[in-house]
Amino acid sequence: MSGPAAGQGVLTVDLDAIVANWRDLSARHGAPCAGVVKADGYGLGAAPVARALLAAGCRTFFVAHLTEGLALRAALGAGPAIIVLNGFPPGADEAAGLWPVLNSLGDVEAHAAAGRADGQARPALLHLDTGMSRLGLDAAEQAALAEDRGRLAGLDLRFVMTHLACADEPAHPLNALQAQRFTAAAAAIAPGVPRSFANSSGLFLGKDFRSDLARPGCALYGINPTPAAANPMRQVATVEVPVLQVREIGAGDTVGYGAGYTATRNVRVATVAAGYADGYLRSLSGRSLALFQDRAVPLMGRVSMDLTTFDASDFPDLQPGCRLMLVGGAGNTPDDIAARCGTIGYEVLTSLGSRYQRHYLGGV
């Protein structure tokens, strides 16, 4: 493979680590999990990630949007189930064989009517809201459907699902409540239909959260699904960026927009070719670091759109053309970076964007 263009950062994705994480999660769950590859595989590349998981035995993939589903079908070919969480109108998948998640009684009616009209039951998932108040049939819609299950005629329900709101907080009372609500509603509405329940963190909540198909996303990509404890997952992603220039400034000189850093002595400023347009969030300004030969180099001043500055004073070897590890390495995981700026590892990964050269390790 050719090297990165001059000045371009490299996002390296360890597909073998993703596969190892999927196997680990499936073993914990006691059944093969799905792979959630929405948002371009949490920013790391839906097609290569899904191909690697498919080769490892994963047969079910979740995306959020119809367009993501169509692109994934083109990448994977016929065979694996591809489920669109946000749903789509009957026929909109253009015979790509995608399964919609039905998120309201209106969705149920539209797809059931289409199935009855062409005499072919439509494969779909039924989403019951048990505490998110976001998508999924609400309590009144669930009651209406339990009352008249004939409204499901024309559908071939593959799974009935719900989604946990607080799975990363094991002691939160909503977890048990959602499990109870889901068990009761699934039995009343869709008895005998396989169930899909836990996301990544839900896989760690115990037997009440088991189902026929868990839907891990973040843990596949190395995000800690158990934030209160050590991360059981393998790390997956690193971003290395080239140093474009190194310069020396003296006391009183300032660095970057807003003169966000003022030198009080001679310091060396290393400018790297990545900024907030590359998902290195601007809220990291003045409060982050990158790694050089496994040592922490402090960020100085504000993160700009395409450039970020680091204090190279203690690193005489750090010269133009060197690379800094912007994301990844000990103490610099997506979760670590997120903690510095008040967000979550999911946002760090999904923000990475398309300007890095992507380099995949392992896989197929």
Ligand X SMILES: *Cc1c(COP(=O)(O)O)cnc(C)c1O
Active-site residue numbers?
38, 257
Mask: binding to ligand X, 61-100, rule CB under 6 A, as x and -?
Answer: ------------------------x---------------
Q: How far is CA 267 from CA 17, 171, 253, 254, 296, in A?
A: 39, 48, 10, 11, 16
User: Interface residues for ligand X in 209-248 (CB under 6 A)?
Assistant: 215-219
Longest pairwise C-alpha distance within the chain: 79
Residue 195 interacting with ligand X (CB under 6 A): no
Residue 36 interacting with ligand X (CB under 6 A): yes
Q: Which of 111, 122, 163, 323 binds ligand X (CB under 6 A)?
A: 163
Nearer to ligand X, 163 or 195 (CB): 163
| Single-letter amino acid code for the residue at 342 | G
Q: How far is the CB of 115 from ligand X (least distance, A)?
A: 23
The number of residues that bind ligand X (CB under 6 A) is 11
| Single-letter amino acid code for the residue at 167 | A
Distance from C-alpha of 200 to C-alpha of 179, rounded to nearest angstrom: 15
Nearer to ligand X, 85 or 263 (CB): 85
Phi-psi region of 337 (alpha: psi -120 to 50; beta: other; left: phi over 0): alpha
**Residue 1 marked as a ligand binder:** no
Residue 199 interacting with ligand X (CB under 6 A): yes
Distance from C-alpha of 337 to C-alpha of 283, rounded to nearest angstrom: 10
Q: Return the closest-CA partner of residue 205 out of 185, 235, 228, 223.
A: 228
Nearer to ligand X, 33 or 297 (CB): 33
Nearer to ligand X, 42 or 276 (CB): 42
For ligand X, which residue has the nearest CB? 217
Distance from C-alpha of 10 to C-alpha of 355, rounded to nearest angstrom: 9
Q: How far is CA 298 from CA 103, 208, 305, 309, 332, in A?
A: 46, 45, 18, 9, 12
Q: How far is the CB of 264 from ligand X (least distance, A)?
A: 43
Nearer to ligand X, 199 or 333 (CB): 199
Distance from C-alpha of 25 to C-alpha of 180, rounded to nearest angstrom: 23
Q: Which of 12, 21, 200, 271 binds ligand X (CB under 6 A)?
A: 200
Residue 358 phi/psi, 5° resolution?
Answer: -95, 130
Q: How far is the CB of 43 from ligand X (least distance, A)?
A: 12
CB 282 within 8 A of CB 302: yes
Alpha helices in the chain (DSSP H): 15-29, 38-42, 46-56, 66-76, 105-117, 139-147, 173-189, 334-340, 345-350
Nearer to ligand X, 25 or 269 (CB): 25
Q: How far is the CB of 42 from ligand X (least distance, A)?
A: 7
DSSP letter assigned to residue 299 = B
| Single-letter amino acid code for the residue at 204 | F
Mask: binding to ligand X, 123-162, rule CB under 6 A, as x and -?
Answer: ----------------------------------------
Q: How far is the CB of 218 from ligand X (least distance, A)?
A: 3
Q: How far is the CB of 215 from ligand X (least distance, A)?
A: 4
**Residue 161 marked as a ligand binder:** no
Residue set of the binding site = 134, 305
Residue set of the binding site for substrate = 134, 305
Interface residues with ligand X (CB under 6 A)?
Answer: 36, 38, 85, 163, 199-200, 215-219
